[in-house]
Amino acid sequence: MQLLTVGSVAFDAIETPFGKSDKIIGGAGTYITLAASFFNKEQAIVSVVGEDFPYETIEGMKERGIDTTGIQIPTGGKTFFWAGKYHNDMNSRDTLVTELNVLGDFNPIVPEAFRTAPYLMLGNLSPEVQLKVVSQMKVRPTFIAMDTMNFWMDIALEALHLTLKSVDLLIVNDEEARQLTGEYSLKTAAKKIAAMGPSKVVIKKGEHGALLFENDRIFYAPALPLEEVFDPTGAGDCFAGGFMGYLSQTNDTSFENMKKAVIAGSAVASFCVEKFGTKRLEEITTADVKERMQAFLQLSQFDLN
Amino acid sequence: MQLLTVGSVAFDAIETPFGKSDKIIGGAGTYITLAASFFNKEQAIVSVVGEDFPYETIEGMKERGIDTTGIQIPTGGKTFFWAGKYHNDMNSRDTLVTELNVLGDFNPIVPEAFRTAPYLMLGNLSPEVQLKVVSQMKVRPTFIAMDTMNFWMDIALEALHLTLKSVDLLIVNDEEARQLTGEYSLKTAAKKIAAMGPSKVVIKKGEHGALLFENDRIFYAPALPLEEVFDPTGAGDCFAGGFMGYLSQTNDTSFENMKKAVIAGSAVASFCVEKFGTKRLEEITTADVKERMQAFLQLSQFDLN
């Protein structure tokens, strides 16, 4: 097992200026593993769903090479549900409904077989839950990445700092990096985050690309200029999943290879926003993702000779 | 004469969260020619100042290879003065004072010797004044670039459209591109601008870099992540000046060479913001600018092999 992810598997209902979805499959864990599956066929997920969760979706994950034995299904439980509405500029959204349900008292249990996974992705969950997963690993993974959000900074900052100490990479967006550090400059913010624990930091800037920091090295990945963003839900998780899928498959955590992983994550995320929910990701192949990675190369390469 | 610029030469008073300047030298024409001088030693400016404008500043421009015979000094006139205050995030500012003075009825006269310049930069001025300069050229220049701003879209949109028809490149920021086209997507906005006349479009995104568009080709130039932006005044003009200085000096308007020109412009702009007004630009050399262009290369290059 090369890559283990912990993250929510959930129901979403999404409203954007372009339309409205029914209750569809969502959740960080869903997007991360789906995105990673374009690169890595050997992965597993630890999560929790309710008895109302469709059997076919779990089967679909298995068909993509995702080991789902770590998904708990507590008796009588209902699946986590989130509903949100995006504003016209697609850069901000209102949460309309959050029903934690089974996620409310999720106690992650990492199956024995996954406890030696060399790559570990901690999807956006409470920092306590994230740390519980790390503590169950038998061998310290080669590379641990984590996502988080403003919400945990507001209500669980101490626990968040504790979890940060045990990871190699924090993946956040610009707003989150600024809130966590109190710094406007993303360069300064990244330095402060590195001092909190993770030696590597990715700051996502949505339509403005992403920055990768490690020591004094910085990589600025462009974003593909799009004519239309249909639904931004899951883009951040797709980035993380594409990144970790690429990194774990190539098994190389050098800065040069992390650059490529950033492009891999950006490429998957750029597909994700083209349709509602996971729809677009289900249509595309690894070849499509690789072709789009080439488009990122075209977009940003120049020489000074 | 390789490059001719028309643009304001002015007094500025600037307040940022880091401090406050006295009345210092500013103006689009000042920044553009100063920035271009790192690449091109054969350039000229058409502008207007008052009798209160310091003789030494004009002398300084001459020493940098800028032909200043096109700067009118009307008797009894006072120099254009602008005072502004930046907000804490440095991304927005309030104009405190605008005294047009001699710029109010500026009638640009292009000296005979400059009327065959192959590269023409129209700094941010009323579109009527910009067009008057174009119409005085004896030979249609190889390449005409123009800047503009929201203000002209509000009060002189028709004239602006007329001027747009006679240029090759429009350089604007994201907000201006969106106002001009009514499109949020910058890719769609660039297409609409191209349909208005300029076959090439640069959209500057400040700390998020810049986009160059020509037909179906797009280049995404990164911005150097900075720990501190001391004073953003003139950064956009430095970009334009660096771009046109590079382009005119290399005399190559291919897409590949325009990419390098975008990096040249970005490099000069990244110096500009490090100190108040033109101060930092007066300290650095062409070698410094070239070194920084290499830093942009480091920042954004990757390979997928």
ipTM field: 0.90
Option in A208, A229, A301 nearest B205 (CB): A208
Local confidence band at A229 (pLDDT 50, 70, 90 cut-offs): confident
Q: Does A297 touch chain B (CB under 8 A)?
A: yes
Q: Is the pLDDT of residue A66 over 80?
A: yes
pLDDT digits (tens, 9 = 90+) for A31-43: 999 999 999 999 9
Sign for the CA dihedral angle at B132, B138, B140, B146 comes to negative
pLDDT of residue B92: 81
Q: Is a pLDDT exceeding 80 seen at residue A12?
A: yes
Task: Kindly state whether A113 is in contact with chain B, defined as any CB-CB distance less than 8 angstroms.
Answer: no
Choose among B188, B293, B299: nearest Cβ to A218: B299
| Residue/partner pairs of B99-108 with CB below 8 Å, 24 or more apart | B101/B50, B101/B77, B102/B48, B102/B49, B102/B50, B102/B72, B102/B74, B102/B77, B102/B78, B103/B8, B103/B10, B103/B48, B106/B48, B106/B72, B107/B132, B108/B6, B108/B46, B108/B47, B108/B48, B108/B132, B108/B133, B108/B136
pLDDT for res A19: 87
What's the gap in Å between the CA of B130 and the closest CA on chain A?
A: 30
Q: What is the mean pLDDT of chain A?
A: 96
pLDDT tens series, chain B, 305 aa: 999 999 999 999 999 988 899 899 999 999 999 999 999 999 999 999 999 999 999 999 999 999 999 999 999 999 999 999 998 777 788 999 999 999 999 999 999 999 999 999 999 999 999 999 999 999 999 999 999 999 999 999 999 999 999 999 999 999 999 999 999 999 999 999 999 999 999 999 999 999 999 999 999 999 999 888 888 999 999 999 999 999 999 999 999 999 999 999 999 999 999 999 999 999 999 999 999 999 999 999 999 98
Using the Cβ of B151 and the Cβ atoms of chain A, whether some distance falls under 8 Å is answered with no
Indicate the residue of B90, B218, B219 with minimum beta-carbon distance to A302: B219
β-pairing, B81-86 vs A3-6, is unpaired
Residue A9 pLDDT exceeds 90: yes
Cα distances (angstroms) measured from residue A187 to each of B29, B228, B229, B254: 31, 9, 12, 33
Give mean pLDDT, residues A40-54. 97
Is the pTM value of this prediction over 0.90?
Answer: yes
Distance from CA of B74 to the nearest CA of A (A): 44
What pLDDT was estimated at residue B195? 98
B299 lies within 8 A of chain A by CB:
yes
Query: CB distance from B216 to chain A under 8 Å?
Result: no
A162 pLDDT tier (thresholds 50, 70, 90): very high
**Partner-chain residue, chosen from B88, B89, B225, that has the shortest CB–CB distance to A211:** B225
- Of the pLDDT bands very low, low, confident and very high (cuts 50, 70, 90), residue A65 is very high
Q: Cβ–Cβ of B226/A185 closer than 8 Å?
A: yes
| B253 backbone dihedrals φ, ψ, rounded to 5° | -105, 25
* A87 part of contact set with chain B, CB < 8 Å: no
Q: Determine contact, residues B180/B189, Cβ cutoff 8 Å.
A: yes
In the predicted structure, residue A261 carries a pLDDT above the cut 90: yes
Check if B188 contacts A (Cβ < 8 Å).
Answer: yes
From the CA of A184, how many Å to the nearest CA of chain B?
A: 7
Q: Provide the 3-class DSSP secondary structure of residue B105.
A: coil
State the pLDDT at residue A81. Answer: 96
Compare CB distances from B89 to A184, A208, A219 and report the shortest one's residue.
A184
Residue of B nearest to A174 (CA): B208
pLDDT in tens, A167-208: 999 999 999 999 999 999 999 999 999 999 999 999 999 999
Q: What is the pLDDT of residue B118?
A: 98
Chain B residues inside the 8 Å CB shell of A228: 185
The answer to whether B186 contacts A225, with C-beta atoms less than 8 Å apart, is yes
For domain A3-300, give the fold. Answer: UDP-N-acetylmuramoyl-L-alanine:D-glutamate ligase (3.40.1190)
